[in-house]
Amino acid sequence: MIMTVREVQDSILKIKKEKKICILAHAYQSQDIWEVADYIGDSFGLSQMASQAEADTILMCGVRFMAETVKILSPEKKVILANPSAGCPMAEQMDFDIMEQLKSEMSDYTVAAYINTTAELKQLCDVCVTSSSAVKIIRNIDNDKILFIPDCNLGDWIAKQVPEKHIELVRGGCPTHLRINQRDIDKARKLYPEALMLVHPECHPSVVAQADFVGSTTEIMDYAAKGKNSSYIIGTENSIVEHLQFSCPDKKFIPLSKDCVCHNMKATTLIDVYNCVCGTGGEEILMSDTLIENSRKCIDEMLRLGK
């Protein structure tokens, strides 16, 4: 039987209501998935939502560390990752043993981790941050010495805004955002001189330095939706360009780079979501009580300091 996109969406909406499934979608998911989600947000918003959601089953349309975060915050719930192959290369960049060694050598430092880390690695961290909460949280940490992992680009951006702290960085980053380069900026500025350039702090510092606004995915969307300018160059995953075109059809949105596509975020399809609500797809996230307990401390600390 052939189904249209709208028929698949209608079936998902019906089944999720019957089965009391809450669908969470990261902002980088495609528009057809957005339309069936109960909540759409950036990494910080999704974590807050995960700790409050009332449904017994939560379906995460995003990448693995996001589903793990939901499970850590709501261990009693059944948490499903819509597409098991959707990982985040940055979250898997740091080795547990190297991190353990670093932590013992720098015992007077507070270890702050971008939430894009595995649950295993979170066990070694004191506090998590997201791109929208990072500056506030780092400022609120009761220690001047911070070891920030794994994204040195986000870390550099934080360090420039919190100069009163000594922030040590490790070499890691998002392969998707690092594809944006100077040629992309020169080309976009030349073709669209009137447009404002909005970028994510996961971009290289040389890109961030030339932006008119720097923020998380939802901060970029809010800025563009509320701003008076009629055109915006978007320097983050290109699904944000698509979403902005739907929400503000009278404005013009230009991707800073055609290559800024996260293939992991794009791995999840509407059919994956359909199969998950039907009970035939996805992967249930299972974690030991010890892993949940140990990795939860730094997420709770993030929610406390980020309030």
Separation between Cα atoms, residue 59 and residue 82, nearest integer Å: 6
Q: Which two tokens stand for residue 8?
A: 């698949």
- What track of x and - describes contact with ligand SF4 for positions 145 through 164 (by CB under 6 A)? --------------------
By CB under 6 A, name the one of 23, 29, 40, 43 that touches ligand 13P.
43
Site for ligand SF4 in 48-87 (CB under 6 A): 63
89 binds, among ligand SF4, ligand 13P, none (CB under 5 to 8 A by kind): ligand SF4
By CB under 6 A, name the one of 47, 116, 153, 268 that touches ligand 13P.
116
83 binds, among ligand SF4, ligand 13P, none (CB under 5 to 8 A by kind): none
CB of 116 vs ligand 13P, minimal distance in Å: 5
For residue 277, the tally of other CB atoms under 10 A from its CB is: 25
Closest C-alpha among 252, 265, 259, 264 to residue 235: 259
Cβ nearer to ligand SF4, comparing 137 with 262: 262
Could you tell me how many residues of this chain bind ligand SF4 (CB under 6 A)?
12
Instruction: Return the range that interacts with ligand 13P (CB under 6 A); candidates 125-133, 162-170, 188-196, 279-287.
Output: 125-133
Instruction: Return the range that interacts with ligand 13P (CB under 6 A); candidates 71-79, 128-136, 187-195, 277-285.
Output: 128-136
Q: Which residue has the tokens 């990448």?
A: 63
> CA of 210: how far to CAs of 164, 215, 253, in Å?
23, 13, 18
156 binds, among ligand SF4, ligand 13P, none (CB under 5 to 8 A by kind): none
Q: Are 249 and 270 in contact (CB under 8 A)?
A: no
Q: Write phi, then psi, for 103 (nearest 5 degrees).
A: -65, -40
130 binds, among ligand 13P, ligand SF4, none (CB under 5 to 8 A by kind): ligand 13P
CB of 15 vs ligand SF4, minimal distance in Å: 27
Q: Are 224 and 244 in contact (CB under 8 A)?
A: yes
Q: Are 295 and 119 in contact (CB under 8 A)?
A: yes
Helix (H) or strand (E) holding 101: helix 96-105
Separation between Cα atoms, residue 266 and residue 29, nearest integer Å: 7
Q: Can residue 151 be called a binding residue for ligand 13P (CB under 6 A)?
A: no
CB of 88 vs ligand 13P, minimal distance in Å: 6
Burial 187-197 (b: 16+ CB within 10 A, else e): ebeeeeeebbb
- What track of x and - describes contact with ligand 13P for positions 206 through 225 (by CB under 6 A)? ----------xx--------
- What track of x and - describes contact with ligand SF4 for positions 225 through 244 (by CB under 6 A)? ------------x-------
Q: Which two tokens stand for residue 88?
A: 């985040």
In the chain, beta strands by DSSP E: 21-26, 39-41, 57-61, 78-81, 110-114, 127-129, 145-149, 166-169, 196-199, 213-214, 231-235, 252-255, 283-284
Q: Can residue 88 be called a binding residue for ligand SF4 (CB under 6 A)?
A: yes
Cβ nearer to ligand 13P, comparing 232 with 274: 232
Q: Are 112 and 125 in contact (CB under 8 A)?
A: yes
Cβ nearer to ligand SF4, comparing 66 with 277: 66
* Site residues (vs ligand 13P, CB under 6 A): 42-43, 88, 116, 130-132, 174, 202, 216-217
* Site residues (vs ligand SF4, CB under 6 A): 63, 88-90, 116, 174-176, 237, 262, 264-265
